[in-house]
Each structure stands twice: as structure tokens, then as C-alpha cells.
Amino acid sequence: MMESARDIEGNNTTFDSMMSNSGLGGDRKSRHTKDKQAIISSASSSSVPTSFLLSVIGRIESAQIFGVDDVYCKYNLAFGNDWTITSGMEEGISQITMKDDDGNFVWNFPLEVTFKSCNPHGWPQLVISVYGSDFLGNHVARGYGSVYLPTCHGSYVKTIPLFVPESSSFLQKISAWLMGRQPEFVDPKLLAQSEGRQVVRVQSNGYVVVKFEVVMKDIKKLGFLTSSKTITENYE
């Protein structure tokens, strides 16, 4: 009994600000950090975990995009406030690939990231943006797409439909074509949110196939159920 009480106390004291005072120091700086004090709980030694882990291994396998010869892709992970990446890269850019006979672009770009979280709100999303060169050699956006990381453990193959933003007007379209600057999203992470999408018109454009292997830890212990079909699985 005493021990557990100490544990809890220990947790309380381990709160720390996320911001590291990077060099600039001083009062003024600390004012900012104080405002935006972030809470993080260190991994406690107690038996009950304070956060769950979501580990996603996978690869961006291939894409099918029409009328394009070479593409590369960039991935971003968008996630909410209560999520942190404990290992793995938040962003990555693949090699440029040419299409094969069937019109597939294969990257096999590995993806490995582990999240730590305590709240399913803001579940991470994978945002994929595909770029390629046009006939003039300019790199233009060929497609954007996003998908939520699976919420259940297991192996998944996701086909992400892609789209590209359209020019705002016909004149702009011609201009974009002439200048070789197709419209692009300001931030691909915008795809992870629904806000403001009503102002954009997009054109559908191919698919990206992504494979995920999802491993989770402790999510059940935090009281979250991620699947309805886990009756037997949970007890084995």
C-alpha cells in the first residue's frame, strides 16, 4: 500500500516541460514555455501503464498513377496533441521510380514508426504526397492521399486513392501548364484535417498501395477497445 502511494507521488514529480530551453534562455523565453507547458508522464515503473504504444511497420509499396513516367513520394505522419513519436521518422522521401510494364510504380519504401499516446483522439494518419516530373522536367505534385493508421493489430494492405488540387480558374490552369507549376497543397498535413477542404477542388489520380503491420501494446489496459471481434483474441 505504501509502495503504491509512493509510486503515484513519483509520477507527479516527473512532470516536465516538453520544451527544452534551447540556448536562448532568459526570463522571456521561459514565459513562453510556461504558457505552453506540456505534460508528459515518464514511463512509470508501476504495473499499470500510463500510455499505450502503437508500432507500425510497413512499406509504401507501389502506386498506380496514370499518364506519368516517374514519381517519388513523400510521407508525413499527422497526429494529435496527445501523441508522440518515440522512434522512427515522422517524414520521409522515397527514391524516384519509373513505372514497370503494368504501369506500377514500385518504391517498397519502408516505414517504421512507434507512437506513444494516452488518448485515441488525434490518431495518427499517414499522409502521402506523390511528386513527379512533368514533360519539362519540373517536379509537380502528382497526388495526395491520406489514411489512418489501423487501429487494430494485424497486417493490412491499404489502397490509398490519390488526388491533386485543381487550379482555381481556367486561366490559372493554362498558366500553370505553361509555367510548369501545378498547384500544390501548402502543407500535405492539411489532408489529415477536414477543416477548410471545401475551398479546394481536386482531381482524382491513381492509387498508392501501402502495407502496414500493426503491433500495439497496453491499449486494452488503458481501457480502450479497438476491435469488436477481440473476444477470444484478448484472452489468449
Partner 1 sequence: MKKGAATSSDFFVRSEKVASTVKSLSRAASEQESFNQDDDYTSEKSTPQSSHKPLKKAAFTRTAQKELQKRLKETNTNASEEDSDIEHVTRKIPSKTSFVERSASRQERNRPPTSTSGRSSHSERSQRSYSTENDTDDFPEADKREDYENNNENGDDNESETESSTIRQGSPTRKKTSADILAEESSQLLLGQGLADGNIWNVLVFGPPKQRPKEDWEKWSQLTFHPSTKSVNSQDKLVDDVEARVIEDEGLYIGEPLQLPLRNLNRLENRLLKEQSYEWFGPDGKLIGFSDPYRAEPVKLVPNESRQMEFEKNVIFVPARLDPFQELQIDPRQSYEMVLELGTIQFTHHPLFSKEHILSAKLEEAFAEYAARNLMRLTERATNKLKALREAVSHTKQAYSNVISQLKDAADVAERKTLKETTENLKDRIKNYRKEMQRTCLDRDQGYWDDRAALVSVLELWRELKTLRREQGYLNTTPKLSIMEIPVDPKEDKVAWKRAIEEEFNDLKEEYDETYETEIRIYNEEMKKFLADRRKQKKSRTFSTSLEGKTTTQESKSDSDEEDTLRDESSTKKPKPPPKFDPETTIKAIEKRHAELRRQPGEPILMLELLKSSSITATNQLPTGSNKEEQRRKMVQKLKVEIKIWFNEKEVYTSKPRSIQPDFSGFLGLSIPISIKEWPESLEIQVIDPTMKLNVERIEVQLPDSKTSIDRCNTQRSQFSSDDIVRVSNSGVGCGIPFEILGKDYSAQCPRGFITSRIGWSTDTDGNILCPVGLEKLLHSAVTNESDRKLKQFMKGKSDFDPNDPKNAQWLNMKPGKPDEKHHLLEAGLMSPQKATPLRITENEFAEEGFNFDERMKEFDFCTMESIQQSSRFRLLHLRDEEVPEFRGLKMIPAFERDIPTDIFNQYERRLKEDMRKRSGTDPSLLKPSRKKMLDDESLYESNRLEKIREMRLSVLHLFENSTKQITFEDLVVEEQIPDIGTLGLNLMALFQPRRPLRPTRKERKRVQGSNLIDTKISLIVSIVRAFNLPMRKDTEVGLLTTESLTGVQVSSKRMERGVGNYATVKPFVEVWFQRSVCRTTTALGSNPTWNQELQLNLAVPNDDYSQANLSRMDDLVYFHVYDEVAIDLLEDDRRRETDIHQRLEKRWLGTISIPFSTLYTNGRIEGTFKLNSPPILLGYEAQGMASHFGPAIVGKNSQQNPSSAFTGKGPGAGTPFSNQKNAFITIFLTMQPSVTPSSGLKEDSQSGETADMVAHVKTWKNSHEMKFPDRIVRPFVMTSEGDTLLCTRFLKPIEPPNTLLTTDNDLMRAMEDLAHYVSLFPCVRDSTLGIVDFSLWFTSDTFISAPGGGIEDHSVLLACYFMHLNVPCWIVQGNAIPDGPTTFVVSSFKGLGEDKPISKQLKNAVLIWNACTGDYYHSNDNFCPLQRVWAAIGKLNVWAYTGEGERPHQVDWDVGKAKCWLPLFVKPVPESKIPCIQLATTRYKPSDQVQANSLAQRIERNLKEVFMKWRTTTKTNWNRYCSATLRRLLPKLEESKLGRSKSSDLGTTAESTVTLHSGSGSTISLNEEHLIELREIMASYQMTGFPLQQPYTNMECIIETVFATGVHTIDAPDVEFAVAAYAHAYPASVYSVWVYVAALHRRK
Task: In angstroms, give the least distance from the CB of 40 to partner 1.
Answer: 5
Burial of 72 (0-12, 13-18, 19+ CB in 10 A): buried
Task: In angstroms, give the least distance from the CB of 92 to partner 1.
Answer: 13
- Contact between residue 102 and residue 73 where contact means Cβ atoms under 8 Å apart: no
Positions in the binding site for partner 1 (CB under 8 A): 8, 11-12, 15, 18-19, 22, 24-29, 32-33, 35-41, 44, 48, 50-52, 81-84, 101, 117-119, 121, 165, 167-168, 171-172, 175-176, 179, 181, 183-187, 190, 195-197, 199-200, 222, 225, 228, 230-232, 235
- Contact between residue 124 and residue 148 where contact means Cβ atoms under 8 Å apart: yes
Distance from C-alpha of 36 to C-alpha of 19, rounded to nearest angstrom: 8
Task: In angstroms, give the least distance from the CB of 219 to partner 1.
Answer: 10
Give the type of residue at 105. F
Nearer to partner 1, 59 or 173 (CB): 173
Nearer to partner 1, 25 or 137 (CB): 25
Nearer to partner 1, 37 or 155 (CB): 37
Distance from C-alpha of 11 to C-alpha of 47, rounded to nearest angstrom: 13
Nearer to partner 1, 39 or 157 (CB): 39
Distance from C-alpha of 197 to C-alpha of 184, rounded to nearest angstrom: 14
